[in-house]
Amino acid sequence: MTYSNEVMDHFMNPRNVGEIEDASGVGTVGNAKCGDIMKVYLKIEDGVVKDAKFKTFGCGAAIATSSMATELVKEKTIQDALSITNKTVMEALHGLPAVKVHCSCLAEEALHAALWDYAQKNDIVIEGLNPPK
Ligand code: FES
Ligand code: FES
């Protein structure tokens, strides 16, 4: 199994590790296939994601995808943040080995769960966003 340079870089030097204390939204998801857990914190101001951090208890691919997802979501509007999928994250990482594709789902799900939490806290509806599973 070979990983792209981008995956190795984001695994060895993950960006945005940590918590945001006054986060606007927090999403925690688990991967039923492997038991790994990912938590994403978003700081949203005026409808734009100003900061993103994560904590992941998981494999290298889960850490690399959390790192990339939190990088990609910064400075995005809520609608653009919502359109970030596991495919977007994988493309930005120049691919993942087939057996590791499911790990990238965690990043998408955690991002969406954090947006859902934000919407709940502010009593708003984000079009196209479904409640976390
Ligand atoms: Fe494997 Fe989503 S967790 S497909
Ligand atoms: Fe669990 Fe990758 S093996 S997220």
Q: Where are the domains of the chain?
A: 5-122
Q: How does pLDDT run across 93-132, given as a tens digit for each residue?
A: 999 999 999 999 999 999 999 999 999 999 999 999 988 8
Residue 105, ligand 2, Cβ within 6 A: no
- Cβ < 6 Å from ligand 1: which residues? 31, 33, 102, 105
Q: Is the ipTM of this complex over 0.85?
A: no
- What is this structure's pTM? 0.94
Q: Which CATH architecture has domain 5-122?
A: Alpha-Beta Complex (3.90)
Which pLDDT score, from 0 to 100, does residue 32 have? 80
Which pLDDT score, from 0 to 100, does residue 68 have? 98
Q: Is residue 44 scored above 80 in pLDDT?
A: yes
Which of the residues 103, 114, 115, 119 is marked catalytic?
103
122 CA to centre of ligand 2 in angstroms = 32
Task: Match 């594709």 to its residue by tokens.
Answer: 101
Burial 38-58 (b: 16+ CB within 10 A, else e): bbbbbbbeeeebebbbbbbeb
DSSP labels, 27-82: EEEE-TTT--EEEEEEEEETTEEEEEEEEEES-HHHHHHHHHHHHHHTT-BHHHHH
